[in-house]
Amino acid sequence: VAGSLPPATAPTSSRVPGAQQSLQSAHLSFGAEHGGGVQAVRLASAAQGAAAPCRSTAWGSAGAVGSGIGGVASDSKSFDSATLLELRSQVEVLREELRNVRANLEHSQLRTRVELEFEEVLLCLFAGGVAELVSTAFAAIKEDGSVVTWGAAGYGGDSSAVAPLLMEGVVEICGTGGAFAAIKANGSVVTWGDADEGGDSSAVAQHLMEGVVHVCGNYLAFAAIKADGSVVTWGNASSGGNSFAVAPLLTEGVVQVCGNQNAFAAIKANGNVVTWGDVDGGGNSSAVAPLLMEGVVQVRGNYKAFAAIKADGCVVTWGAADSGGNSSAVAPHLTEGVVQVRGNYNAFAAIKADGSVVTWGSVYHGGNSAAVAPLLTEGVVEVCGTNGAFAAIKEDGSVVTWGNVYHGVNSAAVAPLLTEGVVEVCGNHFAFAAIKADGSVVTWGAAGYGGDSSAVAPRLMEGVVEVCGNQGAFAAIKADGSVVTWGAAGYGGDSSALAPLLTEGVVQVC
């Protein structure tokens, strides 16, 4: 998306009327293309900036950014799980109508106009709107075990309520969409952020006082693995925060837990997989249960699906078909040799032992890599995703991108910098950041969400050892322990208020 996106708008609404409004015309319809509606609803910034003027073709959303597509009226500021489900339902309806509309766009002149309108709609959708649904912040661990947080205050950016517990001893931090969980050296866990997204762990506090060795977060809940192989869950119940239905299977032997949007999958020591959470989004794996009884060594999730790699290199998928839960179209390529799987919002990419890549899932999110297929037949060593695109690093240090143009697929502006020397790529929802062998960073994608790093470019020319992305910003750790941030301020892209605390000693950012 060209140019900087406008600042986010604080929400003023939560009442969601029925999805009685259909798309009014082709140029309105295009606003939901490529999951745009989904992003506006689920991934809008939580920044508290001033309202940005938007065209009336934008959603009538909580930020009052306009009216036309869908409609979210105003009353309060809280969104419960039922509202989330209704919003998701509306988005799916809009996306289906969009497909029908797009199929009828026969004239190139009309199509050009529609795409221009769509870009303007995106500027509104991605910039303001339903901020209460999602927040984004960063949490940094320093050498002394203390924690520094910044970003959306109510969603983990403000940790003052637990500050005394974060002054020392923290060894690992994990986040959901709106909360953080920190593991301390004594095996205890400290949580903060939005209570409904895992920030309040009081209901299971007695189980988190010791023995925790790892914590995994999905969008709204956490799952902690203890030293005895048992699992403790909390957060949104329907998203996996309540694991009562599979509790007997989680009392011992769990070695890994992976989350997607609203479900979890746990691998046990015997290679068996246990799933729980949203039954329509990967929480129910009964359809492939016989294939998950043994031999699973890795599980990866995206929005509503999971992909498991077995010891023989084959892949098993389940969950929502259009998110990649159905891999039948590429099944012959997934029977052996797969060594890694990566997911973005609605697609998967598998790296095989011969360096080739297999993709499946939504074609709008990188599930179809035909456009770059000749570049993915060999030599790929890593794949990273944004919300709707993928970037692959090859053995020669070059980068190949594919997927949704509004999520970082277009790297043309920096292409000369991506032909060699890239050692790591990190994505947030809208942009990519690549670390090169010389410690410099190259960015591309949506400008206001980290694709444009020109404001901090002098600090990214050397010495960067790690980059972390959240939903709309990036944070880079340098060899001297300092942190550089850029992207949307409301997502933590502006850390100036805490600059003195981030000049040295940082060892991890989440």
Q: Which two tokens stand for residue 415?
A: 């292409």
Cβ atoms within 10 A of the Cβ of 297, count? 15
Greatest pairwise CA separation for the chain in angstroms: 65
Question: What's the confidence (pLDDT) of residue 6?
Answer: 34
Could you tell me where the beta strands, DSSP code E, fall in 320-472? 338-343, 347-352, 357-361, 380-385, 389-394, 399-403, 422-427, 431-436, 441-445, 464-469
Residue 435 has pLDDT above 80, yes or no: yes
Alpha-carbon distance 395 to 355, whole Å? 9
Q: Which two tokens stand for residue 362?
A: 């939504």
Cα distances (Å, whole numbers) of residue 474 to 260, 261, 386, 507: 21, 21, 12, 15
Residues 9-43: tens digit of each pLDDT: 333 333 233 333 332 333 333 333 333 333 332 23
Alpha-carbon distance 500 to 502, whole Å? 6
Alpha-carbon distance 112 to 105, whole Å? 10
Question: What's the confidence (pLDDT) of residue 475?
Answer: 97
Question: What's the confidence (pLDDT) of residue 409?
Answer: 84
List the single range of 102-106, 154-158, 284-288, 471-475 with lowest mean pLDDT. 102-106
Instruction: Please say whether the beta carbons of 343 and 385 come within 8 A.
Output: yes
> Strand 170-175 to strand 179-184: parallel, antiparallel, or no bridges (unpaired)?
antiparallel
Instruction: Please say whether the beta carbons of 83 and 16 come within 8 A.
Output: yes
Residues 88-117: tens digit of each pLDDT: 445 554 554 554 444 444 434 433 333 333
138 pLDDT band, cuts 50/70/90, is very high
Q: Which two tokens stand for residue 230?
A: 């048992």
136 pLDDT band, cuts 50/70/90, is confident
Question: What's the confidence (pLDDT) of residue 43?
Answer: 32
Count of alpha carbons within 13 Å of 63, Cβ hemisphere only? 32
**478 three-state secondary structure:** strand
123 pLDDT band, cuts 50/70/90, is very low
